[in-house]
A and B are shown apart, each in its own frame.
Chain A
Amino acid sequence: MGFGAYAAWQHALEEAFFSPDWDGHPVVMYVDDAEAAALQKRFDMDLPLVQAVKQVVRPERPKPYDAIEQYELRVRNSDDAPAVLPLLACSVIAATRMANDGRHRASNYHDQFSQLLTERDGVLASHNYLPIAHMWQRLASWQTQWGAYRGLCTIPSPEDLPSNQSRIGYAISQSLLRGTDRQLLPQFFYAMRQRDDAAWPLPGGRLLRLLMYWGQRERFSRGFQRAMDDPELRPIVERLLGNLANVWDGSPEYVKLGIPRAELLVRFENRRLGWLARLPRKGAAEYSLPDGVTLRRLGDTEYYNVDGLKLPDAHTLRQGVQLRGEDVTVSRPPSSLVVLCHNALLDCRTSVDRFVPGEEHMILAAPEAEGDLEAVLQRAASTGKAREAGKLSWVPEGWSLRFRVLFDDAVTLKQAIRDVQGAMLATQPAPRYKPYLEGGLPLAPQINKRLYLTGGEPDLVMPDGATGQVLLDGQPPDPAFPHPGESIRLWTRQLAAGRHAVEIEGTEVSFITAEGLPDLVAPKEVVGFRVAEASAEGFATATDQSTAALIRGAEVGLAGVDVVPRVVLCRRGAEKTLFVSCDGRAWTVAEPEPPAWWSRLNDAPSGYYFELELHGPGGWIVQWRKGTWQVEPAFPVEPNFQPGPQHLPWAAAVLEAAKGGRDPLWKACVRLAEEVEK
């Protein structure tokens, strides 16, 4: 079985529908017979699409698409789209052929698909179509991981599909809108928003009802018009319209592919709102836009400062902003809500399109959105429900402000938003097509992205529409997992080190945990405080020179060691303690109290010793304890001084404790003391 032609079509379809040229644009993978022929010509392919797919589908087997799945696995690479595009394109062609043709009902999808790939009805049937539905989910998941860079995903979320189209709905959703239809939609959206800008974006159902009366309806393709009228297809058309309205940039004109499109973000810092622009990838250092607006790139990032544009206020936020330059388009959809999250790269808050469960949000809401927002927060927010009291100068006139709004349960949040609709619709969390892991404490992402520290297991995010039928390491989890909308904290399960697998309705997600890696790798750049001569730097700096003299943690080496006195430990509780120096002096040592800060320790040290600091020459600690003298060395040396009368107290002390020690150096002291006494 050769995959040469299939691979060539995979490349062509990825180039046609998922290249960075689509960046920021909604992508609909519309392929019908004519489009397939046009693509064959454009990419100079030897075999037609359907023929290339027929070569690798095995209709006679129980798993007709198994070879394609194996191939997908073999060539998998996160940079490239999953190698399922030719088969999915065929699934869309089949959807475009759905019609009452005298032989098939208009709702009959599977016979059209079977005819396409086997030229017979009933060979490829609904019972073996599930792998194709999963392929759509994998494609959607891959596309959304790229943000807007590979185009905005229009593949419906599993929960958006009617139950009778839960498998074929993906292909149908992509078969409804031709390119010409998509070019017309911005005009329709613009007209609808002009009619009532406070309610934008409108839900898909309302948009479809309004579309029926729109003066230019006749300009849509016949296929789309037919779908609008078909009760079976209407739910999918509604979702598609709703999704496209949510990502519409507010302009009546269709932006051609290939012109970079920057998102205009609201920035909050320094107690004021401002603008920032973000291109999907790092672009030119500067762009000029009409009316003297300039974009200046921030360092080595994809973010741009926006100069010359009036700061955000209630009017610009509600109306949206569209600026068209020769080589860049900047836009922000109109909205009566601004949702901001902390931007780690820029260390400030910037606006986001959608709520992100688990993240803290700051929300600004216009009066017309306040009621809906309040309803959603009451139902779905864990924190931050109350609006800030008092008037803040930087908040748009009449708008409300909420801080630290957190949502734990994505499903409840989505449901709450769908119930209120209105401006909240655009803020729905991103659809989740398949289960995935997020967070956790990864041990070595370079060698395995799914290797975590034991105790730092990731959270499991369930796909939309999951029923909660889950196996953890082959067993139903005990206790059961929480509601599928919440992230499942796997760390609470106290899993042993090793491989773990979660199986959710036929899909497995696995990861490995370990207490650590067998060997540690030295960091590429070591950070420390540089030491030069008698001083260190007050701030640590990174260096790749391992030879540099650095303070790292408490590793100081011998720098500054001259100030550290020698210490000896003396046992507490002696009736008398003397220090007998090797230079002929002796003095009584008073026992200090234990350190006061030991009260901070939950189990106090024994207090068996106290510390004696030595600044001069060494000697002996001499203690009278329980009727005997005990002599302990304290860095002693051979006593070497000319005996004189001034040494009498020293000699008396030594001789009194003479029998307390046997060390030869102590014996030398005793002999010298006897000489002093003579």
Chain B
Amino acid sequence: MISISNLLLRWVSELGGGKVTDLRARILRTARGRGLEIRDGAEGRWIRDVSALGHLDVDWRRGIWSIAPPTLTRLPYSDGLALIIGRRTVADERAVEAAGKEWAIVHQVMNEVAEGDIPVPDSLLVQYDSPDELAQSATAAGFSFTPCAALQMFDLLPDLVQGDEAAPPAPGNIHTIQRYDLEERSYLSAASYNEDGLYRWRSSDWSRLVQVRRGTRWLSTEHEYGVYLELARLRRGVMRWRPESGTGRERVGTFFVDWGAPLPPLHARAVVLCTGLHPCFSDLAQTARYDNVPLAAAERLARSLQQELEVLQPKSAPGKAK
């Protein structure tokens, strides 16, 4: 029987797009109907994670999503591995099966998710022999081809900038104001909003407004950008990178981001597409871990979010070096 994770991907692939609220409700109900014990907000995290995996794209502000075209792309520094992501209808699955018989070895990898989360779809990795024939093979199978989506995205990452000046909270919505607490990693009720910080509240039409306060100015932002603006203001680093210890693999490594500092969607997708796998979450270290990230790419990502990347020694060597 098909797993719930792959079933949901098949379903969103058939729908093609729609409203995020409808998607959330169906996912939640389906997950509960399967007897999954899920934490609050699991359905929203599923959408976010599946978006980071590159299967669908979400306009969070307008609450609209659409499925991504089925695409084959190379993984960086992966010795002949590519990834198939995006739409995965039954017809697309058959095309993958056919590729497995004709020109590739397909590895279907089950992703692990944190306890209380809804499983995300399996990743489809493809082992190939001829890089220069990859584009043609992808097109013949009905897939788009992107030479290396991860490296291309790293190159296109936008730099973090402060948003446009916006109106401060109004008397009618002061009671809904909350301030982001970096230690608690959540928004908490704010008795006052006089200090610099990241705030959110309900506007008069109930939409959620997220703004940073800088002196007397209020600046519009998105939650993820707001967190990194705060981290930059407080000069706090949340990103680390450790090279692989294997000979000849020093240029790629594991990229760590502390919990509570979620990557913006394109940044998240760029690091996820280095392996095509869902990141690992460590309860002990309280970090998200992304494998196979080139050092140059990690530095580019950190720089774009006004972070300084901390480079760790390979695992076999004790201590840290900068």
Contacts and interface: CB of A to CB of B under 8 A. Distances in A.
A441 B265 CA distance: 26
Contacts of B60: 539
A596 B17 contact: no
B296 to A, nearest CB: 9
Interface residues of B, number: 104
Contact of B158 (A535, A561, A594, A596): A535
Nearest to B22: A344
A540 interface: yes
B292 A595 contact: yes
A552 B205 CA distance: 30
Contact of A602 (B15, B86, B110, B156): B110
Interface in B233-279: 244-249, 252, 264-267, 273, 275, 277
A595 B107 CA distance: 15
A524 B67 CA distance: 12
Contacts of B77: 595, 611
A270 interface: yes
A326 interface: no
B71 interface: yes
A456 B2 CA distance: 10
B14 A516 contact: yes
B79 A607 contact: yes
B229 to A, nearest CB: 13
* B contact patch SS: mixed
A534 B249 contact: no
A555 B155 contact: no
A274 B176 CA distance: 10
B107 A603 contact: yes
Contact of B246 (A274, A540, A593): A593
Nearest to B247: A593
B68 interface: yes
B110 to A, nearest CB: 7
A interface SS class: loop
A541 B59 contact: yes
Contacts, number: 276
Contact of B2 (A443, A455, A521, A552): A455
Contacts of B303: none
A515 interface: yes
A554 B88 CA distance: 13
Interface stretch (A47-55, A60-68, A562-570): A562-570
Contacts of A590: 247-248
Contacts of A536: 153, 156-158, 266
A456 B7 contact: yes
Contacts of B26: 439, 441
Contacts of A555: 68-69, 71, 86, 144, 146, 149
Interface string A589-623: 01111111100111101111111000000000000
A538 B156 CA distance: 9
Contacts of B291: 596-597, 600
Interface in A275-311: 296, 298-301, 303, 305, 307
Contact of B68 (A299, A531, A552): A552
A356 B123 CA distance: 36
B313 interface: no
Contact of A453 (B7, B69, B157): B7
Interface string A71-106: 000000000000000000000000000000000000
Contacts of A487: 33
A462 to B, nearest CB: 16
Residue among A299, A307, A358, A552 having the largest count of chain B Cβ atoms under 10 Å: A552
B266 A537 contact: yes
B127 A602 contact: no
Nearest to B76: A564
A523 B158 contact: no
A1 interface: no
A557 B153 CA distance: 11
A439 B144 contact: no
Contact of B266 (A298, A551, A557, A595): A551
Nearest to A526: B66
A591 B248 contact: yes
A521 B16 contact: yes
13 contacts: A270-B175, A439-B26, A456-B7, A522-B16, A527-B65, A528-B66, A553-B67, A554-B146, A563-B154, A567-B74, A601-B109, A603-B107, A611-B79
Given A552-B66, A597-B275, 13 more contacts: A274-B175, A439-B29, A441-B30, A453-B14, A525-B66, A527-B64, A538-B225, A551-B153, A556-B152, A559-B152, A569-B129, A590-B247, A605-B105
Interface of B: 1-2, 7-8, 10-11, 14-18, 21, 24-26, 29-30, 32-34, 51, 54-62, 64-69, 71, 73-74, 77-81, 83, 85-87, 89-91, 105, 107, 109-110, 125, 127, 129-132, 144, 146-149, 151-159, 172, 175-176, 178, 189, 204-208, 222, 224-225, 244-249, 252, 264-267, 273, 275, 277, 291-292
